[in-house]
Amino acid sequence: MIRTPHLARVSAAVLAMLSIAFAACSAPAPMTPPADAPVIAALIVKPRITTSDPATVLKPMRATLGQAAGIRYVRPMAGDAHIVHLTAPAQRDEVSQIIERLRASGAFQYVELDSMMKIK
C-alpha cells in the first residue's frame, strides 16, 4: 500500500513536470527565419549599447519590426557595428522603410544598407 507522504511527493513531482512541459509548449515560437530564406538586403547596424551578443543586437530589431521582416545575424564588424540580413516576409521595395523604422526606434546609433564600396 502507498503511504500518503510518498503519494504527496510523487504528485508534486508530476505536477512540477507537467507545469514545465506546459510552459515550454505555450512559449512563443522564435522569430528566426529559416536558414534557406532568401536574403532581401544586408544592413549594417550599430547599437547604442556596445555588445558582441547577436541576441542583444536582434532583440530591438524584432521589437521594432515584429513580423514585417525576417532578421538573421551574420557577423560583427569593427567599431561595434554588425551585419544583419533582412529576409522574407520583407520585400525589396520595403527596405528603405524598414531602415527608417529601425533608425526611428532609437536603439541604434546608425542603420545603413550594406553595399560594395566603389573606387572612383
Domain ranges of the chain: 39-113
Domain topology for 39-113: Alpha-Beta Plaits (3.30.70)
pLDDT at 25: 56
pLDDT at 31: 46
pLDDT in tens, the chain (120 residues): 456 777 777 777 766 666 666 665 554 444 455 567 889 999 999 999 999 999 999 999 999 998 878 999 999 999 999 999 999 899 999 999 999 999 999 999 999 999 877 787
DSSP 39-100: EEEEEEEEESS----HHHHHHHHHHHHGGG-EEEEEEE-GGG-EEEEEETT--GGGHHHHHH
pTM check: above 0.85: no
